[in-house]
């Protein structure tokens, strides 16, 4: 059987559009023909892969929404809610109508750099502090990696970054760098500046990291530098920076390629 013929049968079987007789015949074929079986399994994996990918995208989107809103209290009175609930159909209709109007008339028709930035920016987590509680095991690990530093100070810097307290993280990483110009500190200082929306300082810090010769965060630094240029609407500089980057196969490189393609 030809590939296309088998695929049609598989799709019909999955969509449950085969008659009972056809279904029985296909199930027998599945047991007898190795090629059909392989193509069927590949299709199931592909469908799961698509669901996996879409689920991850959606979850990421929701997590981003969550990170942009203050913590919810279960005791908050309804009048003090962050997003007041719609009390009437008229109000809801008005909001939808305003939304449509705003979308139609106020949104720029050209490239929305801010939105592209927001969709693509998410901080790269550190491997140093992954949990939100301090414990002796983590401090011991920090001590082993950064023997020249007070483990508690290193922990505090990564802890602040991990908890999105970027202003604190900038100060703490700057203090650490004043003692030792460790590339990891420099990279996370760059990220902290970025989280703090100090884009020029972030750019300079990523440049500092890239000139250090360390390669651990090289691709990430190029990615973030590019995102800053995107935010600043510096299209030509961005294209120049990512010219070679998009030829690589890393996840961010693929995303970068998509961004550049959408700028054309």
Partner 1 sequence: MSSEQELLILLQQGNQQAFNETYYRFREEFVSWSGKQYSISNEDALDLYQACFMIFFQNLSKNNFEMRSTIKTYLFGIGKNKIRELKRVQYKQIKNKVLFLSDYKDVVIEDWGEKEDLLQLMERGLQMIDEKCRSLLTRYYYQGQSMEEIASDMEYKNSATTKNMKYKCVQKLRKLIAPVQ
- For partner 1, the binding residues (CB under 8 A) are 3-4, 7-8, 42-43, 45-56, 58-59, 61-63, 65-66, 69, 71-76, 78, 81-83, 85-86, 89, 92-93, 95-96, 99-100, 102-103, 115, 249, 251, 254, 258, 261
Phi-psi region of 223 (alpha: psi -120 to 50; beta: other; left: phi over 0): alpha
Cα distances (angstroms) measured from residue 185 to each of 158, 207, 241: 9, 13, 23
Closest CA to 153 of 187, 131, 128, 130: 128
Nearer to partner 1, 63 or 181 (CB): 63
In angstroms, give the least distance from the CB of 236 to partner 1. Answer: 23
Closest CA to 206 of 216, 217, 250: 217
Nearer to partner 1, 55 or 216 (CB): 55
Segments in the chain forming alpha helices (H): 3-14, 20-32, 34-67, 89-101, 113-120, 136-145, 151-162, 166-179, 183-195, 199-210, 218-231, 235-241, 251-263
In angstroms, give the least distance from the CB of 182 to partner 1. Answer: 31
- CB neighbours (10 Å) of residue 164? 13
Nearer to partner 1, 53 or 216 (CB): 53
Nearer to partner 1, 34 or 236 (CB): 34
Would you state the structure tokens that stand for residue 100, as one six-digit string?
């449509």
Nearer to partner 1, 24 or 48 (CB): 48
In angstroms, give the least distance from the CB of 81 to partner 1. Answer: 5
In angstroms, give the least distance from the CB of 50 to partner 1. Answer: 5
In angstroms, give the least distance from the CB of 86 to partner 1. Answer: 7
């Amino acid at each position: 059987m030809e590939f296309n013929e088998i695929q049609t049968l598989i799709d019909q079987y999955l969509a449950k559009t085969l008659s009972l007789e056809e279904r029985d015949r296909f199930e027998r074929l599945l047991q007898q023909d190795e090629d059909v079986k392989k193509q069927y399994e590949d299709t199931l994996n592909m469908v799961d892969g698509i669901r996996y990918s879409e689920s991850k995208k959606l979850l990421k989107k929701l997590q981003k929404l969550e990170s942009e809103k203050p913590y919810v209290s279960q005791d908050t009175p309804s009048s003090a809610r962050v997003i007041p609930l719609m009390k009437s159909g008229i109000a809801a209709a008005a909001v939808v109508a305003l939304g449509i109007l705003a979308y139609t008339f106020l949104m720029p028709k050209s490239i929305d750099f801010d939105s592209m930035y927001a969709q693509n920016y998410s901080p790269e987590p550190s491997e140093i502090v992954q949990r939100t509680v301090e414990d002796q095991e983590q401090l011991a690990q920090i001590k082993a990696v950064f023997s020249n530093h007070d483990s508690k100070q290193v922990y505090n810097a990564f802890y602040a970054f991990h908890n999105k307290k970027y202003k604190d993280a900038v100060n703490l990483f700057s203090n650490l760098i004043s003692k030792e110009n460790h590339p990891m500190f420099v990279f996370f200082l760059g990220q902290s500046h970025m989280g703090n929306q100090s884009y020029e300082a972030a750019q300079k810090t990523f440049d500092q990291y890239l000139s250090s010769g360390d390669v651990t965060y090289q691709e990430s630094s190029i990615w973030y530098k590019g995102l800053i240029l995107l935010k600043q609407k510096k299209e030509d500089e961005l294209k120049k920076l990512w010219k070679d980057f998009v030829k690589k196969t890393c996840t961010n490189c693929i995303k970068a390629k998509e961004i550049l393609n959408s700028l054309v």
